[in-house]
Structures are given as structure tokens and as C-alpha cells.
Amino acid sequence: MKKNSAAAEGLTVVTGSHNPVIGEFFLQKAAEDIQEAKDVIVEEDVWIAANVTLLSGITVGRGAILGSGSICRNSIPPYAIVIGNPAKIIGFKFTPEEVITHEKKLYSEIERINIDLLINNYNKYFINKINEIKSFVKL
């Protein structure tokens, strides 16, 4: 967990698992059959609410907010807001332009997130979802 990030009570971080084997009981080979552990990375300025689970190998992007009880199985883009089981992106903390302003105040130029990545994530997860919802609603 990097600087200026916080987690509430009940955070669970899972870094490994086991390989299921046909014809054997789980506990027979549990100790020798553990999959290679994968790091979980929590970038800067992340807020993790109570009782969140982070599964093996994910990265939580800078500035993300994870809602209570979320089960995160996939990496989370910078400044995304996620909730649920499985965790789904419901919005972003800031627009891409606001992120640029925010990061100019906090990070050196070399540390800032690329504007193209921010716009791509914003369009992929937010604008496209709004258009999808609009297609179901007659205005």
C-alpha cells in the first residue's frame, strides 16, 4: 500500500490460492499445491472502505475509492469508484481534466498519469455506460 492510502476495518488481501486436483481431497495436498502468490498493489491516495477483499494479482489505481464489502477480482483504474461483488465501476472521482489539475498540485510531471489513459478509462467505463442506459430509456 503506497503513501496517502487508507483502509478501514476488515480489509482482506488474498495473494495466493490452490490448484484443485481431481481425485484428491483438498487437504491432502493443500500445503504443497499452493499456486504462486501474486502481489496486490494499492497505489497512492486510495480509500478502501470496510470489509473489502482484494484478490491475488490486482492493482488498485491511484485515487480509487472501494466501497464497503466490495470483492475486487480485477485491477481498478486510477480514480475509479467501485462497489459490489464482484466490484464494478460506478463512476470516477474526477473527470480527466480534474485529475490533471489535481495531479499537477500533488505529483511531479514524471509521476503524473497520462491524459490519454485517463480519457480512455473515463470513456470506457463511464460515458459508454451512460449511453447504454440511455438506449434503454425513452426520452
pLDDT tens figures, 45-87: 999 999 999 999 999 999 999 999 999 999 999 999 999 999 9
Query: What total number of domains does the chain contain?
Result: 1
Look up the CATH number of the domain holding residue 64: 2.160.10.10
Query: In this structure, is residue 1 part of a structural domain?
Result: no
Query: In this structure, is residue 26 part of a structural domain?
Result: yes
Tens-place pLDDT, residues 10-48: 999 998 766 666 766 666 555 555 567 789 999 999 999
- CA count, 13 A, side-chain hemisphere, 53: 11
Measured CA to CA, the distance from residue 87 to residue 64 in angstroms comes to 12
pLDDT score of 86: 95
Q: Which residue has the cell 481534466?
A: 97
Give the largest Cα separation in the chain, rounded.
Answer: 60
Query: In this structure, is residue 16 part of a structural domain?
Result: yes
**Residue-number span of the structural domain to which 21 is assigned:** 6-136
**Residues tagged active-site:** 18
Q: Which residues contact 45 (CB under 8 A, 6 or more apart)?
A: 4, 5, 62, 63, 106
Tens-place pLDDT, residues 79-117: 999 999 999 998 899 999 999 999 999 999 999 999 999
Q: Which residue has the cell 470516477?
A: 92
Query: In this structure, is residue 12 part of a structural domain?
Result: yes
Q: Which residues contact 14 (CB under 8 A, 6 or more apart)?
A: 40, 53, 54, 55, 56
134 or 111: which carries more pLDDT confidence? 111
Does pTM surpass 0.75?
A: yes
